[in-house]
């Protein structure tokens, strides 16, 4: 089944404790991205990757890091999480970039205490 | 950058009636306009999209219209059913990226 998977689905952590949210897709898509969804703000892009070893900032990159060492994986790293990073996070992938259908993962709900 | 405004934020319609959600965008260079449906506890899923060289597109009960001059586009759902209840997001793509509207919570009343 073609899909985007994320782990963990739910995470409660404390301020300053490094964490990684994994994202994997099995559709051989070049383009992958991370979004955060907050009430009343819609979806905002954090980082994106056009292909392996190519990453770039989205609209809200502060406090996040990413890496793209393999085509299928695009982990999101929070080196020192803060409460304002409490949010619902979505990974997405597509063939050919933003002018084609984005396939979203199921989401990761993160709470930073 | 691009700015996408979406209205209304909540829409309640009777089952069987039509629903219309409207979006405006600011960058005349935007040329791809997708609509996503998000059900509770799931990620958004594309339901229909339109490119700037087309004025209207239909897929069964769903249609999207685009007015490039006025810089607005709309989602039309006819004969609404309970499974249409969800949050709907419009979006616009320009050279800088994909910008989403803030979403419309569509409620289908039985």
B6-39, pLDDT tens digit by residue?
A: 999 999 999 999 999 999 999 999 999 999 999 9
Distance CA A12, CA A109 (A): 8
CB A105 within 8 A of CB A94: no
Q: Look-up: residue for tokens 């997001």?
A: B89
For residues A3-25, average pLDDT? 97
DSSP code for A83: G
Contact (CB<8Å) A107/B34: no
Stretch B42-50: mean pLDDT: 96
Per-residue pLDDT reduced to its tens digit, A29-68: 999 999 999 998 899 999 999 999 999 999 999 999 999 9
Of B45, B51, B89, the CB nearest to A43: B89
pLDDT of residue A98: 86
Sign of torsion over alpha carbons A58, A62, A63, A69? positive
Question: What is the pLDDT, as a whole number, of residue B96?
Answer: 78
Chain Cα centroid distance, residue B35: 4
What gap in Å lies between CA B60 and CA A82, rounded to an integer? 45
Above pLDDT 90, what percent of chain B?
91
**What mean pLDDT, rounded, does chain B reach?**
95
Chain B CB contacts of A40 under 8 Å are 102
* Mean pLDDT calculated for residue range A95-108: 93
Name the band, by pLDDT with cuts 50, 70 and 90, for residue A107.
very high
The mean pLDDT value for B38-51 works out to 96
Residues 43-72 of B with CB under 8 A from A: 43-46, 49, 51
Question: Most B CBs within 10 Å: which of A42, A93, A95, as the mutation test of the B interface?
Answer: A42
Q: What is the pLDDT of residue B97?
A: 85
Do residues A78 and A84 lie in contact, with contact meaning Cβ atoms separated by under 8 Å?
A: no
The CA distance from B51 to B20, in Å, is 19
Phi and psi dihedrals of B21, rounded to 5?
A: -120, 135
Nearest to A107 among B1, B43, B101 (CB): B43
Closest CA to A44 of A65, A55, A58, A32: A58
- Residue A67 burial (CB < 10 Å; 0-12/13-18/19+)? middle
Q: Measured in Å, how far apart are chain B's first and last C-alpha atoms?
A: 41
B74, pLDDT greater than 90: yes
């Amino acid at each position: 089944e073609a899909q985007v998977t994320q782990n963990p689905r739910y995470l409660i952590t404390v301020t300053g404790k490094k964490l990684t949210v994994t994202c994997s897709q099995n559709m051989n898509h070049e383009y992958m991205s991370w979004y955060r969804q907050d009430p009343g703000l819609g979806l905002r892009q954090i980082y994106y990757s056009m292909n392996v070893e190519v990453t770039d900032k989205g609209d809200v990159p502060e406090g996040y890091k990413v890496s793209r060492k393999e085509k299928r994986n695009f982990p999101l790293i929070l080196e020192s999480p803060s409460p304002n990073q409490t949010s619902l996070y979505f990974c997405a992938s597509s063939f050919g970039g933003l002018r084609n259908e984005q396939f979203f993962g199921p989401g990761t709900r993160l709470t930073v205490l | 950058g691009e700015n996408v405004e979406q209205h209304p934020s909540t829409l309640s319609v009777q089952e069987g009636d039509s629903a219309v959600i409207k979006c405006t965008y600011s960058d005349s260079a935007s040329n791809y306009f997708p609509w996503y449906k998000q059900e509770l506890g799931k990620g958004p899923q594309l339901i229909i999209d339109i490119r700037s060289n087309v004025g209207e597109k239909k897929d069964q009960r769903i249609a999207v219209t685009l007015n490039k001059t006025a810089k607005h586009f709309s989602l039309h759902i006819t004969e609404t059913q309970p499974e249409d209840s969800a949050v709907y997001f419009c979006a616009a793509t320009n050279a800088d990226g994909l910008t989403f509207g803030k979403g419309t919570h569509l409620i289908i009343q039985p």
